[in-house]
């Protein structure tokens, strides 16, 4: 904290911990984006009461609803945002922070909550999965080399045998990762609309992009125009679907997106695979791994005193990985 004690961001108050994570005008902007009423009485409570009010279950060591995760991650990211602002050379926008928090909420909630509900096991396919017969799968990805920095998008269209149908890549200049993800999805749908017949499944590794597209009113969102373009495409082709894939299953699209962000062309369609992607395509075609995660998660919030709080996310995991390519399944404990 600064030597004068005044907040280096707003210069309005002495910078206490509570000021950093809640009372600073910069922190309040984040809380407002997250849907909290910063003018309510709860935002005038002392440190402990404020935590106890917003995450009563998590604080007592139980499982909490999503709103509690939003609160806990909100405090942590406000702290991170403040440090970035004062100490770092890279500064995220409040919009980026908002998206980061919401994405983390999904990840934490799914990992912790699902794991402790009736089935203590998460089973996910890792790796690319071929679409059913008669369907083209379009994997898309965005890439920002820095955020915001040179950004691009890319994608790969493959059939039920995993054969290359076509690919695409493009640059969108200086921009954020989220806009790159959305540009990739829009480009994927546009290329799909030019294909005769068949069903389309579009796969992205951006949960946040899916959330934005599925939300009805995006009119006031910073990327509202492109989100609406995508929504219109899905309305035009009601049988098309969009699904989430883990990054491990989206490596070919990631390759195309990096190609897009490292070149200046606005849009390129690849009839044949570009150099360097062939091994990834082959790997996708021959092997699909399934990973089962047995998790015992805990979240621990410790309020040490009026000005200090520690948040721990802990989990002990056992991974079981099995392969559909004839490999012998093996287990790893961690
Ligand atoms: Zn301040």
What is the band of 326 on the pLDDT scale with cuts at 50, 70, 90?
very low
Indicate whether 294 pLDDT > 70: no
DSSP state of 196: -
Looking only at the bridges linking them, the beta strands covering 122-126 and 164-175 are unpaired
Average pLDDT over residues 189-202: 86
- pLDDT tens-digit series, residues 255-271: 999 999 988 899 999 99
The pLDDT, as a whole number, for residue 331 is 37
Q: How far is CA 197 from CA 87, 193, 200, 294, 311, in A?
A: 54, 9, 9, 41, 52
3-state secondary structure of 254: helix
Ligand 1 centroid to residue 3 C-alpha, Å: 14
Q: How far is CA 309 from CA 24, 50, 73, 301, 303, in A?
A: 18, 12, 13, 7, 4
The pLDDT, as a whole number, for residue 228 is 94
What are the chain's domains? 17-121+297-322 (no CATH), 129-286 (3.30.420.10)
Ligand 1 centroid to residue 23 C-alpha, Å: 7
Ligand 1 centroid to residue 116 C-alpha, Å: 39
CA separation for the pair 257, 251 (Å, rounded): 10
Ligand 1 centroid to residue 4 C-alpha, Å: 13
CA separation for the pair 334, 321 (Å, rounded): 13
Ligand 1 centroid to residue 9 C-alpha, Å: 5
Contact 260, 159 (CB under 8 A): no
Ligand 1 centroid to residue 81 C-alpha, Å: 12
Ligand 1 centroid to residue 27 C-alpha, Å: 8
CA separation for the pair 93, 28 (Å, rounded): 14
Specify burial of residue 106 (Cβ count, 10 A radius: 0-12, 13-18, 19+). middle
Q: Nearest-CA neighbor of 243 among 280, 199, 282, 273?
A: 199
DSSP state of 133: T
């Amino acid at each position: 904290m600064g030597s004068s004690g005044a907040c280096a961001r707003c210069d309005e108050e002495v910078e206490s911990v509570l000021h950093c994570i809640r009372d600073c005008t910069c922190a309040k902007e984040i809380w407002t984006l997250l849907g909290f009423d910063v003018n309510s009485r709860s935002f005038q409570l002392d440190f402990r009461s404020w935590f106890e009010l917003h995450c009563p279950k998590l604080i007592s060591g139980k499982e909490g609803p999503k709103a509690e995760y939003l609160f806990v991650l909100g405090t942590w990211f406000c702290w991170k945002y403040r440090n970035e602002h004062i100490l770092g050379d890279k500064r995220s926008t409040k919009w980026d922070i908002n998206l980061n928090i919401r994405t983390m909420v999904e990840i934490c909630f799914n990992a912790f909550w699902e794991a402790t509900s009736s089935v203590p096991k998460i089973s996910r396919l890792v790796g690319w999965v071929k679409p059913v017969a008669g369907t083209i799968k379009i994997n898309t990805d965005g890439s920002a080399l820095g955020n915001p920095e040179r950004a691009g998008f890319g994608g790969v269209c493959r059939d039920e045998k995993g054969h290359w149908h076509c690919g695409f890549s493009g640059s969108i200049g200086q921009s954020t990762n989220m806009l790159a993800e959305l540009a990739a999805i829009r480009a994927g749908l546009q290329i799909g609309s030019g294909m005769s017949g068949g069903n389309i499944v579009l796969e992205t590794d951006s949960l946040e992009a899916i959330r934005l597209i599925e939300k009805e009113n995006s009119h006031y969102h910073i990327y509202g125009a492109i989100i609406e373009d995508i929504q219109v495409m899905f309305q035009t082709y009601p049988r098309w679907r969009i699904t989430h894939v883990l990054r491990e299953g989206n490596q070919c699209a990631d390759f195309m997106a990096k190609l897009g962000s490292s070149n200046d062309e606005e849009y390129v369609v690849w009839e044949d695979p570009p150099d360097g992607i062939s091994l990834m395509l082959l790997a996708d075609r021959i092997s699909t791994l399934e990973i089962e995660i047995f998790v015992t998660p805990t979240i621990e919030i410790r309020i040490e005193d009026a000005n200090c709080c520690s948040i721990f996310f802990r989990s002990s995991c056992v991974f079981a990985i099995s392969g559909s390519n004839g490999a012998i399944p093996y287990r790893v404990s961690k």
